[in-house]
Structure 1
Amino acid sequence: MAKSHDYTAEIIWTGDRGEGTRRYRGYDRTWRIATPGKPVVECSNDPVLGGDPAKPNPEDLLLSSLAACHMLWYLHLACDAGIVVQAYEDNPLGIGETGPRGEGRFVRAVLRPKITVARGADLAKADALHHEVHHFCFIARSVNFPIAYDASYVEA
């Protein structure tokens, strides 16, 4: 039987310049993510839509969440498989599209981790693990767009 998990966050709009949403260009697209016991994350809209480019936007957060979830499960599966990972970094790419009414969506993502493994590791086995992660990763199992993997490996 499946276990239920609850996640909470408080989203607080911080973009009122004194007139609320009276005018479209009269308010900022900024907010805070507050989760109990964790640092506050200051966010904004995509700069294309008037957001602050110095702050994470929803698309950044989704792509980062996807890559982080994949990484954590990859590390777990690598440990179980006897693959010793010594470093892991990813530069994921999310590809989105905007429709004629301004509606947007992700159409696919490519995770591009660079993984340092112990010398002599079975690289074919290490690479195959990426295709197992999607069976476990909460985020990957929740999105409706395809995710590809383009990993590279360095032996230490």
Structure 2
Amino acid sequence: MKTHSYESRVVWTGNRGQGTAGYRAYDRNWSVAVPGKPEIPCSNDPLLGGDPALMNPEDLLLSALASCHMLWYLHLAAVAGVTVTAYEDCPEGIGEVSPDGAGRFVSARLRPQITVAPGTDLARAAALHDDIHNYCFIARSVAFPVSIAPHFTIA
């Protein structure tokens, strides 16, 4: 097996001058930077005091899952001769929080809207989703079930 290395730099930016002197004395903000790529400002989930205008870890995980699925779908479609002309997903993740505050995802549902060329075998196009869990780095790494509910448009 080949291994790959990924690097990221996470920097807390929420120090208001007193650090963590008190629970409400600091912001739950940080930035994510990957060498050679734009920095992403982030915050905690708004339910936990974060800035609702910024990406949070849950947003990033769900987006990574949907993005990985999309990229593998496009690859498998090209190999199978299925011409995709547009792809958009609005995934939904379901989380739960225990009484002690610990949270986790319990499921995710990908809902891709896929436009394919006229004459496309829609059963074949839909079946491509069944193989993605064998390849997608993110889907193979999460500990919760992921379901797919694709919708196809021919154009």
TM-score normalized with structure 1 length: 0.99
Paired amino acid for 1:75: L
In structure 1, what is the Cα distance between the partners aligned to 2:105 and 2:129? 20
How much does 1:94 deviate? 0.2
What is the aligned partner in structure 2 of residue 7 from structure 1? Answer: 6
Q: Within 5 A, what are the aligned runs for 1:1-156?
A: 2-156=1-155
The SS at the match of 1:26 is coil
TM-score normalized with structure 2 length: 0.99
In structure 2, what is the Cα distance between the partners aligned to 1:47 and 1:68? 23
The SS at the match of 1:53 is coil
CA RMSD across the alignment: 0.4
Q: After the TM superposition, which parts of structure 1 deviate over 4 Å for at least 4 consecutive aligned residues?
A: none
What are the ranges of 5 or more consecutive residues in structure 1 without an aligned counterpart? Answer: none
How much does 1:120 deviate? 1.0
Paired amino acid for 1:49: L
In structure 1, what is the Cα distance between the partners aligned to 2:124 and 2:47? 41
Aligned-residue sequence identity (percent) comes to 63
In structure 1, what is the Cα distance between the partners aligned to 2:127 and 2:100? 40
How much does 1:32 deviate? 0.4
